[in-house]
Chains A and B, each alone.
Chain A
Amino acid sequence: MDWKGFFILMEEGGIGKWVRESPSMWAFPTIIALHAVGMGLLAGTNAAMDFRIFGFARRVPISALENLVPVMRFGFWLNAVSGVLLLLSYPTKALTNWVFYLKLTLIALAMVDTWLIRKQVIQKSGMDDATVSARGKILAALSLACWAGAVVSGRLLAYTYIYLDSSFDVY
């Protein structure tokens, strides 16, 4: 099967069709709204962690940052599910746009980065460590940059696509 057949298959599937074509506010509008809420929780909580590593809110113990992970995880799964639903509704639009791959790459990098921060900074710190090594701060800076890049590239998807659907009409 070629790419076009793959796009048609996704577009014609029941879920993608419902998300795209249902007039209900619970379909596309609610899913994209949940995607924004998840973004705030995931990228926002990561940013809060990064700010603490930079040295803001110094009285928050570094080890207590592990407590933020469930919030990040919740935001991640909310966005993984809503993101797949949005992808199924307009697969051609996303998968033929290089910005979409940039967004996914930045998210993957940001998550590896968060994992490194947890293993090498948060889980290694004692209860009263106030400051973080330069290496930890570089990881935090990369985390902020990746999340900001992911948010901006997500926003730009609405402006950079070439094809809306598998008819491959140019918009």
Chain B
Amino acid sequence: MDALVHSLQVWLKTTQLYYIMNNVNWAWRTSESIHFIGLCLLIGTVGLFDLRMIGLVKRVPVAALHRLIPFGILGYVMNVMTGITFLAGASDQYIYNPAFQMKMLFMGTAGLNVAVFYLATYRRVAATAPGDEAPFRARIAGGVSLLCWVGVIFCGRFLTFYRPPWHWCPWC
């Protein structure tokens, strides 16, 4: 596994993307700006939907609010793409960074959570009337999603403070 991760990290340094990120003056700041706008789109739609699930903004009907989720998906795609440019641009600073590893863990958990939500819960949630509480399972899903995305943001900001080779992480 370690060898695989290492070869991925080394391979990333041979890509065109690595060259662009390290030689084009505006590349890094442009990617970052897009990454932050994507963050706003994601929190403003998916995060808002989560807040509705846990019992805030209750006057907004659930199924109607859900129609804004495509903007959150747009933000997610923007952030995966710009995230790949960071990863390729400084692969050693990300792959061996415990903050980055935790960020991926939070993203994976958010992904599992949303899969379970759509497979098992969404149909009953959509029927929630304005002013009503969402079902219990939906409240859990909303809470988990919020925690995960806040975790993703925290880890994303912590990346720069825990640069390899100097390490900090809760388990080491």
Q: Beyond A43-B40, A45-B44, A47-B40, is A155–B157 a contact (Cβ under 8 Å)? A: no
What is the interface size of chain B, counting residues whose CB is below 8 A from a CB of the partner? 37
* A159 adjacent to B68 (CB under 8 Å): no
Interface: A112 (CB within 8 A)? no
Residue of B nearest to A39 (CB): B40
A-B pairs with CB below 8 Å: how many? 117
Q: Is the interface of A mostly helix, strand, loop or mixed?
A: helix
Contacts of B67 in A (CB 8 A): 56-60
* A60 adjacent to B39 (CB under 8 Å): no
Contacts of B42 in A (CB 8 A): 40, 44
Contacts of A147 in B (CB 8 A): 40
* B32 adjacent to A44 (CB under 8 Å): no
Q: Of A47, A61, A159, which is within 8 A of B44 by CB?
A: A47
* B158 adjacent to A60 (CB under 8 Å): no
Contacts of B59 in A (CB 8 A): 64, 67
* B64 adjacent to A28 (CB under 8 Å): no
* A25 adjacent to B68 (CB under 8 Å): no
Interface residues of A in 49-102 (CB under 8 A from B): 51-52, 56-61, 64, 67-68, 70-71
Interface residues of B in 21-75 (CB under 8 A from A): 29, 32-33, 36-37, 39-45, 47-48, 51, 56-61, 63-68, 71
Question: How far, in whole Å, are A32 and B65 apart by their CA atoms in the complex?
Answer: 30
Interface: A164 (CB within 8 A)? no
Measured between C-beta atoms, what is the minimum distance from B90 to chain A in Å?
Answer: 15
Interface: A116 (CB within 8 A)? no
* B68 adjacent to A45 (CB under 8 Å): no
Interface residues of B in 145-164 (CB under 8 A from A): 150, 153-154, 156-158, 161
* B29 adjacent to A44 (CB under 8 Å): no
Measured between C-beta atoms, what is the minimum distance from B113 to chain A in Å?
Answer: 18
Measured between C-beta atoms, what is the minimum distance from B86 to chain A in Å?
Answer: 13
Q: Beyond A60-B64, A156-B29, is A44–B48 a contact (Cβ under 8 Å)? A: yes
* B44 adjacent to A32 (CB under 8 Å): no
Supply 27 A–B pairs (Cβ within 8 Å), ascending by A.
A28-B161, A33-B153, A36-B36, A40-B39, A40-B47, A43-B40, A44-B41, A44-B43, A44-B44, A46-B44, A48-B45, A48-B68, A56-B71, A59-B67, A60-B67, A61-B61, A64-B59, A67-B57, A67-B59, A70-B56, A70-B57, A148-B37, A151-B33, A151-B36, A151-B40, A152-B33, A152-B37
